[in-house]
Amino acid sequence: MNAPSIRTKNLDHHGLVAGFCREVGIAKLIDEALPEQPRDKKLSYGQLLEAMILNGLGFTGRTLHMYSQYFDDKPLERLFGEEICAEDINDDALGRCLDKLFEHGVSELYQMLGEAVVKHLGLACDGLNVDTTSFHVDGAYDVEDDFKGVRLKRGYSRDHRPELNQVILSLITENQAGIPVYMKAHSGNSNDSETFKKLVKSHITSLKAAQVCRYLIGDSALYSRETIRELAAQDQYFITRVPQKISEARELLSNLDTLRFSDLSNGYRGAFVDSDYGDIKQKWLVVRSEQAKKREMKTLEKRIEKSMLASNKAFKKICCQNFSCRTDALMALETWIAKQDFACFELSSIEQVTKHSRPGRPAKDDEGTKVYQIRGTLQCSPDKKKKALANLGVFILSTNDVTEQLDMQSMLNHYKSQQKVEGGFRFLKSPDFLVASLFLKKPERIEALLMVMTCCLMVYAALEHQIRSKLQETNSYFPDMKNKPYQKPTARWVFQNFQGIHEVIIDGTGIPVLITNLVDKHLIIINCLGSIYRKIYSVT
């Protein structure tokens, strides 16, 4: 008698991801938006997008470029709800899907999915956060002059790789679970301030989330005259950080002693100041942070050292300049020193020197020309250093909500929710996700891939929020790293704990398909999430 054939499939945490996609109906929404489905193909565009999300959240050390081999050992019928072969999820099919997503408009498609997820979770959106990041792009891409997609170009590199082309991704996220409700790709040389300006003018009014959202929250790149005027014209409240380079902010920071600060939570202190910057009536909140002050103290000496090196280098150049009179030299000296961050003169003088028309020993009749040159030595200014110390841990927030409803603590809390979108960017750039650098055959597909990446972040953040909410609703607990009961696990920690769950098929015995290695901690999550997840993991 022949021994029965035993086959195993790796289910792991993929059942959680597939269950959420099925719960929201991601594939159905995409298929309804893209009625022209591929002919004679087993998988729809919506199912292919779900496959890319499953691969992107696999955390297996593979890049997000899809390979059918990834799905060879996965229980596809259990994950997709119908019989599918791994060979159907191939590069050609996925490439066609990316092309179709680009043709329809990735931002519009993603907005539809983001709003569906927020509605499904029942999130009351009080604030939206906006921010941008960049991704490296490998390879050279030649595009036509009338190409309507993003341009893959060099620009300011947040990852300190200025030699590489890049693409910019803007996200708008709701501020409770950090779920992106809108994404937009931009050319690699786009400026943040200009990007935000265009985003506000073109897309804020079209966001359903923005229509019920009270505040748009961003960093200092959002704060410009044109942008805050546009937001005010749309009756949209904003909370944003004020750039310290603008003259009003510099003046305010130089007069901190005149402000009366009030204690806030967690070592913060704040003081309100009225402002009409950009002809928009605003409240500025000057914030002192003890934690930020301690962090910035460690970097101040390095910043001073770097600034003094640059000042000394620049001073050598100005000492080589010739001036026609002493007054010109003094004016140049005063102008130069005013631009220095920390340098001041220990000694300085204006000397008259004779310059000859030719190098070497001058001729007897060459009396030369009298010019003036700057001489001196620099030191670190005690006053400037003292001022820098006084401004450590200090930043300014602005809002056009001048009602008494928004107090200092609430305004600060809203701004700190900016960490949600920044955390999303860290997720996308984490080594496990492996998409810090992109390569695809066409720039159109890179733009579509950015949508796929954002969908991965959307599912990850939404699933994490749902797990935490369900644990609290059912008064259940999941073990943390020290095996202590916990109600706020990260999705990554839950995914790691679900590794090792397999589907086992024993051919020729009539024994039903088995799910192995399910233990109590898995059942806590599965039962909290509901019937769709219980069906995927065969939990009765």
In a domain, 262, yes or no: yes
**Residues 6 or more apart whose Cβ sits within 8 Å of residue 132:** 168, 169, 170, 171, 186, 190, 192, 195, 196, 221
Proportion of the chain above pLDDT 70, given as a percent: 89
390 & 469 share domain: no
Q: What is the pLDDT of residue 2?
A: 64
Q: What is the pLDDT of residue 106?
A: 92
Q: What is the pLDDT of residue 289?
A: 92
pLDDT tens digits for range 81-113: 877 888 888 888 888 899 999 999 999 999 999
260 & 396 share domain: yes
481 & 390 share domain: no
Q: How confident is the model at residue 410 (pLDDT cuts 50, 70, 90)?
A: very high
| Phi, psi (degrees; rounded to nearest 5) at 294 | -65, -40
For the cut 60, the answer to whether the pLDDT of residue 63 exceeds it is: no
In a domain, 133, yes or no: no
379 & 505 share domain: no
How many angstroms separate the CA atoms of 386 and 381, rounded? Answer: 9
Tally helices (H) and strands (E) across the chain. 19, 17
Q: Give the residue among 308, 266, 293 at the shortest CA–CA distance from 394.
A: 293
In a domain, 143, yes or no: no
CA-to-CA separations, 278 to 9, 35, 192, in angstroms, rounded: 61, 47, 19
How many angstroms separate the CA atoms of 450 and 188, rounded? Answer: 13
Q: What is the pLDDT of residue 427?
A: 80
Q: What is the pLDDT of residue 139?
A: 63
Which 3-state string (H, E, C) describes 131-158? EEEEEEECCCCCCCCCCCCCCCECCCCC
Least confident of 213-222, 413-422, 440-449: 440-449
349 & 463 share domain: no
Boundaries of domain holding 320: 244-354+368-403
266 & 335 share domain: yes
376 & 521 share domain: no
In a domain, 38, yes or no: yes
Q: What is the CA radius of gyration of the chain?
A: 30
Q: How confident is the model at residue 133 (pLDDT cuts 50, 70, 90)?
A: confident
399 & 463 share domain: no
* Angle, CA of 350, 354 and 360, to the nearest 5°: 135
Q: How confident is the model at residue 436 (pLDDT cuts 50, 70, 90)?
A: very low
pLDDT, average across residues 163-176: 84
477 & 392 share domain: no
In a domain, 220, yes or no: no
Please give the DSSP secondary-structure letter assigned to residue 199. Answer: H
526 & 388 share domain: no
For the cut 90, the answer to whether the pLDDT of residue 369 exceeds it is: no
> How many domains does the chain contain in total?
2
pLDDT, average across residues 322-327: 90
Q: What is the pLDDT of residue 402?
A: 92
Q: What is the pLDDT of residue 61?
A: 47
How many angstroms separate the CA atoms of 524 and 417, rounded? Answer: 29
Q: How confident is the model at residue 437 (pLDDT cuts 50, 70, 90)?
A: very low
For the cut 60, the answer to whether the pLDDT of residue 268 exceeds it is: yes
Looking at the chain, how many residues does it have?
Answer: 540
Which phi-psi region, left, alpha or beta, contains residue 472 (left: φ > 0; alpha: ψ -120 to 50)? alpha
Which phi-psi region, left, alpha or beta, contains residue 257 (left: φ > 0; alpha: ψ -120 to 50)? alpha
Q: What is the pLDDT of residue 135?
A: 80
DSSP of 147-195: --S---B----TTS-TTSEEEEEEEEEETTT--EEEEEEE-TT--HHHH
pLDDT tens digits for range 476-522: 999 999 999 999 999 999 999 999 999 998 877 767 888 999 999 99
Whether 504 and 75 have beta carbons less than 8 Å apart is answered as no
Average pLDDT along the chain: 85
Proportion of the chain above pLDDT 90, given as a percent: 43
383 & 500 share domain: no
pLDDT tens digits for range 302-317: 889 999 999 999 999 9
Whether 465 and 522 have beta carbons less than 8 Å apart is answered as no
In a domain, 362, yes or no: no
In a domain, 184, yes or no: no
In a domain, 231, yes or no: no
395 & 262 share domain: yes
DSSP of 4-20: PEEEEEE-TTHHHHHHH
